[in-house]
Amino acid sequence: MSAMSIKVNPNFRNIAPNYLFSDVAARVAAYTEAHPEARILRLGVGDVTLPLTGRVIAAMAGAVAEMADGATFRGYAPESGYDFLREAVARHYERFGVALAAREVFISDGAKNDCGNLTELFGDNPVFIPDPVYPVYLDSNLMAGRKVTFLPATRENDFLPTPEGLGAEAAIIYICSPNNPTGAVYDRERLGAWVEHALRTGSLIIYDAAYEAFIEGDVPHSIFEIEGARACAIEVASLSKTAGFTGTRCSWTVIPEELLAEGFSLRDMWERRQATKFNGVPYVVQRGAEAALSPEGYAECLELVGYYRENAELIASALRDRDVFFTGGASSPYLWMRCPRGMGSWEFFDWLLATAQVVGTPGAGFGAEGEGYFRLTSFGSRESTAEAVERLRACL
């Protein structure tokens, strides 16, 4: 087979050969092949296990019935989302005291996609990304050829980088709160410092609120709770973790009308981008999402969140008992633990798989500052979480 003569995107030379969770899956598959008898417990990728709630299922079943009838059948969905769901999302933000216009809400099939695709709106700006953090921000900026500067999130700064010392240049700044993987959450004051910095420097914050439903206590669920954020922030959020939609796919991105750069409205640019490259989320899914955000539907979602919280507490109690340093677990489905006995992240991954047949995610996969840390998820079933906890107690 001879190689083609086309040129490829040279930026792919700058990214790791595999996506983090693909790497984890490959190592687990190799272990399973060598040890077919092993009963592996998975606390790795943050994928939910509880089924969709009753109201979501009923709404989706009703929508399927509509699709089965010529009088109510629907074809292409509007690429930015049906008005009924854009309005439901806007009403959802009233829970946090945030007023949005429905036209500022763009429905999508995943926060991951939107985080990646948003890079298309921007020219060659400096990009600031926390380290450690969800790998999509880094990879998608590297694929686009952007130069990335890391904001270390360490034990010393409570895993919450601040804008201190950043200088006055305009930049694209990523913030994920509650943070994946550390579980650290910005309070009003610390998030306010970022908004103030962005307004002063003409920067844009891309705020990932995918885990807001897990927040406990009086901290912001949305960056738009902070005064001035409408003039400097885009927010991405999702029903994946809130309503168990990891396989169902529905999310949204909020782009306020006020966001203007070089004479362009970012809202209008995103609408234009989506109209060209996206054909909308299926009607059946959008009806399910609408139900999840209704008062009764949201109460059911919070029951799912409560179940995962109890799992997190089970894992946390084992780590406390074994004197292992960790963060997260509260306000987050993730626990971010220090690897014992000075082990590196991947070293501990292999050791834990071999010793206890428990899978987690190596902290180093989320950035250099994650080396020596390890992430456990509370999204498992109660049975497998309880068993994993017993195994952790026995080996840590």
> Where on the chain is the footprint of ligand MLT (CB under 6 A)?
45-47, 112, 134, 180, 240
C-beta neighbour count of 129 within 10 angstroms: 24
- Minimum Å gap between C-beta 20 and ligand MLT is 8
Would you say 139 or 300 has its CB closer to ligand MLT?
139
Spatial distance between the Cα atoms of 135 and 124, rounded to a whole number of angstroms: 20
- Minimum Å gap between C-beta 362 and ligand MLT is 12
Would you say 55 or 249 has its CB closer to ligand MLT?
249
Interacting residues of 168 by C-beta distance below 8 A, sequence separation 6+: 200, 201
Would you say 119 or 240 has its CB closer to ligand MLT?
240
Q: Are strands 204-208 and 233-238 parallel, antiparallel or unpaired?
A: parallel
Would you say 134 or 373 has its CB closer to ligand MLT?
134
Would you say 104 or 139 has its CB closer to ligand MLT?
139
- What stretches of the chain show up as alpha helix (H) in DSSP? 20-34, 54-67, 83-94, 111-117, 135-143, 188-201, 266-277, 283-293, 295-321, 345-356, 382-395
334-361 residues labelled b (16+ CB within 10 A) or e (exposed) = bbbbbbbeebbbbebbebbbeebbbbbb
Concatenating the DSSP letter of every residue in 262-299 gives TTEEHHHHHHHHHHHH-----HHHHHHHHHHHSHHHHH
Would you say 108 or 203 has its CB closer to ligand MLT?
108
Spatial distance between the Cα atoms of 338 and 320, rounded to a whole number of angstroms: 12
- Minimum Å gap between C-beta 112 and ligand MLT is 5
- Across-strand partners of 376? 335
* Alpha-carbon dihedral 341, 346, 347, 350, rounded to 10 degrees: 120
Give me the residue whose beta carbon is nearest to ligand MLT: 46
- Minimum Å gap between C-beta 111 and ligand MLT is 7
Would you say 332 or 357 has its CB closer to ligand MLT?
332
Q: 3-class SS at 43? A: coil
Ramachandran angles phi, psi of 69, nearest 5°? -120, 125
